[in-house]
Amino acid sequence: ILGLLSLLAFIVANFAGHIMAGKAIIPLKEAYERQRQFAADASHELRTPLSVVMASVDVLGNDASIASPFLQQVIVDMRDEVKKMTKLVSDLLLVARSENQTFKLVTEKFDLIEAIHEIVRKMQPLADEKHINLFFVKQESVIIRADIQRIKQLLIILIDNALKYTPGNGVVTVKVDGEFEKNKIRIMVRDTGIGISLTDQHKVFDRFYRVDRARSRDSGGNGLGLAIARDIVNLHDGELYIESKIGEGAAFIVELKK
């Protein structure tokens, strides 16, 4: 009898648990979706006034009648901040959209090597400014089917980070391994910079996570870059991982289907 009673109690408790869990989960999901939608709407709505402010700051910046060096500096600072905010708002929009699959991929066949070359060429001045050697050794074409704009965005995020977190005279190397596994390719962005500890390697893909907030803020980061990179790779059914030791540089490795 005691056994039967405890079995009954177990079944009742479990059943009640399920109902409670069911009740709790629905509002949580709704609350989450509402929050996501709010982030998407807010960032979308912020874009227009921000571009108006940017245009106005440009008008001020081009006004020759503003002779005061102090005011000129104010305009330059304002421009920098508006630029940062514009980037933050468009990154936020991307993140909010990608969670709802409204971030649709437009796939086509293209030469990945060509795409990387273009990005590396565009980022060369940034590397030169920091006295960093940015390398991409030209190799035979690797044709993949993917969203070319998103893949370029992914490359920009990874190369930009490599340049940001590598001190002067360092080296950033981009490599493609097209033969390591059938139907798969691997893109590697390796730097000789500050590196990432094992604990932080699990966190850097979280939204707004920055290992060193003060330093990242100085370098113009907002902590969304790697969250977007991870979303882009996930949407392509690929994998993104890190190989790094603190103080010994970092390698970001992307695996994509061909």
Read out DSSP for 105-155?
Answer: ---EEEEHHHHHHHHHHHHHHHHHHTT-EEEE---S--EEEE-HHHHHHHH
Exactly one of 187, 222, 230, 256 binds ligand ADP (CB under 6 A); that residue is 222
Choose one: 60-68, 79-87, 94-102, 219-227; the region binding ligand ADP (CB under 6 A). Answer: 219-227
Query: Which of 164, 181, 172, 194 has the alpha carbon at shortest distance from 239?
Result: 181
CA–CA–CA angle 99, 104, 109 (5° rounding): 135
Exactly one of 148, 225, 236, 240 binds ligand ADP (CB under 6 A); that residue is 225
Exactly one of 92, 162, 187, 256 binds ligand ADP (CB under 6 A); that residue is 162
Q: How many Å separate Cα 78 from the centre of its chain?
A: 25
Asked if 178 interacts with ligand ADP (CB under 6 A), we say: no
Q: In this structure, which amino acid lies at residue 59?
A: V
Q: Are 111 and 141 in contact (CB under 8 A)?
A: yes
Asked if 191 interacts with ligand ADP (CB under 6 A), we say: yes
From the CB of residue 218, how many other CB atoms can be counted at a distance below 10 Å? Answer: 10
159 three-state secondary structure: helix
CB 226 to ligand ADP: min, Å = 3
C-alpha distance across the termini of the chain, in Å: 64
CB 172 to ligand ADP: min, Å = 9
Exactly one of 92, 113, 119, 204 binds ligand ADP (CB under 6 A); that residue is 204
CB 163 to ligand ADP: min, Å = 8
CA–CA dist 131, 171 (Å, integer) = 9
Number of residues this chain uses to bind ligand ADP (CB under 6 A): 23
Exactly one of 148, 196, 232, 233 binds ligand ADP (CB under 6 A); that residue is 196
Asked if 161 interacts with ligand ADP (CB under 6 A), we say: yes
CA–CA–CA angle 213, 216, 220 (5° rounding): 135
Exactly one of 148, 159, 176, 226 binds ligand ADP (CB under 6 A); that residue is 226
Choose one: 61-69, 106-114, 134-142, 209-217; the region binding ligand ADP (CB under 6 A). Answer: 209-217
Asked if 193 interacts with ligand ADP (CB under 6 A), we say: yes
Which positions lie near ligand ADP, rule CB under 6 A? 161-162, 164-165, 191, 193-196, 204, 209-212, 216, 221-227, 250
